């Protein structure tokens, strides 16, 4: 094919395997119940009042450190490696990775997630714990807006959308701006967000959750 997509931004989206899904959901059910019992879902005071609640507004905690989620970790590793394989990533030197932050969000009716990025994280991701598929699409903003200024490429989308689905993983570069549309349903939407860094050298960082090729 003569077209070369050199500057595309690969986004990964896939659902958990049938065997893993029920185990992961059971793990998160325990975690969510405990977090609710301890009133951990809080509004970030620096955000608009209609944004979602989050388990750690400071982003200094890590759910994967505080709770045991082995089925989720195993499934995340599988999807992360598939993502890297599909984009032909060079694995030499980045065979280890760590989840540096992770948190849960609770989005009720009338709430949303504002446009933002996850900064310098190598990979940002989301897993949908609870959703009716209509309670707020994830949107991802085109990072190459100048391309759309050309009439020849003006049909390219400025924003793409992913509808939430229980058991679905979405992975993308940490710098990519994204957000969540307003939940206009009566359903409580719960998602798990996380940031991943690849370790360029082994043994130089504390492993919060490490995977090996």
- Residue 118 CA from chain centroid, whole number: 10
Q: Mind listing the pLDDT tens digit for each residue in 20-40?
A: 999 999 999 999 999 999 999
Alpha helices in the chain (DSSP H): 18-37, 63-66, 70-86, 145-148
Looking at the chain, the whole-number percentage of residues with pLDDT higher than 90 is 76
Mean pLDDT of the chain: 90
Question: How many C-beta neighbours within 10 Å does residue 176 have?
Answer: 15
Residues 123-133 have a mean pLDDT of 98
Longest dimension (CA), the chain: 57
162 — pLDDT class (breaks 50, 70, 90): very high
Helix (H) or strand (E) holding 116: strand 113-116
List of residues 6+ apart from 133 with CB closer than 8 A: 163, 164, 165
Q: What is the pLDDT of residue 201?
A: 58
pTM greater than 0.85 (yes/no): yes
Q: What is the pLDDT of residue 109?
A: 98
């Amino acid at each position: 094919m003569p077209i070369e997509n050199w500057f595309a931004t690969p986004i990964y989206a896939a659902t958990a395997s049938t065997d893993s899904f029920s185990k992961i959901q059971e793990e998160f059910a325990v975690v969510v119940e405990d977090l609710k019992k301890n009133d951990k879902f809080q509004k970030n005071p620096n955000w608009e009042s209609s944004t979602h609640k989050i388990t750690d507004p400071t982003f200094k905690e890590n759910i994967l450190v505080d709770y045991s989620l082995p089925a989720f970790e195993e499934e995340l590793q599988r999807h992360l490696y598939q993502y890297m394989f599909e984009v032909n990533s060079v694995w030499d030197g980045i065979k280890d990775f760590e989840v540096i932050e992770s948190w849960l969000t609770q989005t009720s009716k009338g709430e949303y997630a504002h446009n933002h990025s996850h900064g310098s994280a190598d990979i940002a991701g989301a897993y949908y714990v609870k959703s009716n598929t209509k309670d707020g699409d994830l949107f991802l903003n085109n990072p190459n807006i100048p391309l759309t200024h050309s009439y020849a490429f003006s049909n390219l989308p400025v924003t793409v959308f992913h509808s939430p689905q229980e058991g679905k993983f979405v992975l993308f570069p940490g710098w990519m701006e994204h957000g969540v549309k307003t939940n206009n349903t009566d359903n409580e939407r719960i998602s798990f967000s996380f940031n991943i860094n690849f370790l360029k050298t082994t043994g130089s960082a504390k492993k919060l959750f490490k995977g090996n090729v």
